[in-house]
């Protein structure tokens, strides 16, 4: 039995490790890394910083991939044993199902403890470090926090569209202020603007040049309810991150 248990445990550990590694790579590269890749590359940040940020995302991926990994490992290991007629040989030797799967269950409980520690301790710490890295980058390069050519909902209470950016200089600016339900209530437009960040109080200031403002009525979808608001040659807009 000891030989069988060592064999099963070794097979489960090796296969689980391989499955977790492959699944984590797929999740990080296919989802999280895809989201930050353009930001990092377009702003010409060093590869070392890119790898650091990707590494900080791995514990979050492990939240999903460790349970998947042991499930995949169990299917592969017992499927291979069945195909090689090893299960029939074990049953012929008088070993029942419960003694056979006992080491797998113990390994699963051990991995569950690791998952709990990862979710409760490691993930919050790494996510906080990831956010700190983003803020440090934003302090040195505020334009990093803005993506041109797409509507951004990352700032609470705002939806922002920037047509083009050149460093901290912005053009074709559209900013919608949202109500608590996410419905646009005010639109501010400007052809040009500039960007600065005060990350000590976690805020971003967009200074709009020749800004125009429009207000919407109670029914945000009623175009007839749109009315012209204030205009300003220079309008600083402070946005919380």
pLDDT tens digits for 60-100?
899 999 999 999 999 998 888 888 787 778 777 777 777 77
- Whether the per-residue pLDDT at 38 is higher than 60: the answer is no
Average pLDDT, the chain: 81
Contacts of 16 (CB under 8 A, 6+ apart): 69, 70, 72, 73, 107, 111
Please give the pLDDT value at position 133: 82
pTM given for the model: 0.63
Is residue 133 helix, strand or coil? helix
Confidence band (pLDDT; 50, 70, 90) for 39? Answer: low
Q: Is-contact 48 133, C-beta < 8 A?
A: no
* pLDDT tens-place string over residues 154-172: 788 888 888 888 878 888 8
Q: Is the pLDDT of residue 22 over 80?
A: yes
Residue 139 has pLDDT above 80, yes or no: no
Q: Rounded mean pLDDT of 95-111?
A: 85
Phi-psi region of 210 (alpha: psi -120 to 50; beta: other; left: phi over 0): left
* 101, two tokens: 């799967």
Residue 122 has pLDDT above 90, yes or no: yes
HSE of 64, CA atoms in CB hemisphere, 13 A: 11
Q: How far apart are CA 1 and CA 181, in angstroms?
A: 62
In this predicted model, which residue has the larger pLDDT, 184 or 190? 190
The more confidently predicted of residues 141 and 171 is 171
pLDDT at 34 (0 to 100): 60
Which band of pLDDT confidence, cut at 50, 70 and 90, is reported for residue 17? very high
**pLDDT tens-digit profile of 193-223?**
888 877 667 778 888 888 888 776 565 555 5
- Domain locations in the chain? 2-140, 145-240
Residue 43 burial (CB count, 10 A): 11
């Amino acid at each position: 039995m000891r030989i069988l248990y060592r064999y099963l445990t070794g097979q489960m550990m090796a296969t689980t490790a391989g499955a977790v590694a492959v699944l984590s790579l797929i999740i990080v590269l296919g989802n999280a890394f895809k989201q930050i890749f353009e930001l990092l590359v377009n702003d010409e940040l060093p590869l070392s910083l890119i790898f650091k940020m990707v590494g900080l995302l791995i514990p979050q991926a492990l939240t999903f991939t460790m349970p998947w990994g042991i499930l995949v490992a169990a299917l592969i290991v017992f499927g291979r044993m069945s195909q090689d007629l090893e299960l029939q040989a074990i049953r012929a030797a008088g070993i029942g199902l419960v003694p056979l799967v006992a080491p797998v269950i113990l390994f699963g409980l051990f991995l569950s403890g690791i998952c709990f520690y990862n979710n409760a301790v490691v993930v919050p710490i790494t996510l906080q470090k990831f956010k700190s890295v983003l803020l440090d980058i934003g302090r040195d390069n505020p334009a990093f926090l803005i993506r041109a050519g797409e509507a951004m909902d990352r700032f609470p209470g705002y939806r922002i569209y920037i047509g083009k950016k050149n460093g901290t200089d912005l053009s074709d600016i559209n900013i919608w202020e949202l109500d608590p339900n996410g419905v646009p209530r005010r639109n501010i437009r400007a052809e040009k603007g500039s960007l600065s960040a005060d990350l000590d109080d976690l805020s971003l200031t967009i200074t709009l040049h020749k800004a125009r403002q429009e207000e919407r009525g109670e029914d945000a979808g009623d175009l007839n309810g749109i009315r012209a608001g204030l205009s300003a040659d220079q309008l600083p807009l402070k946005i919380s991150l």
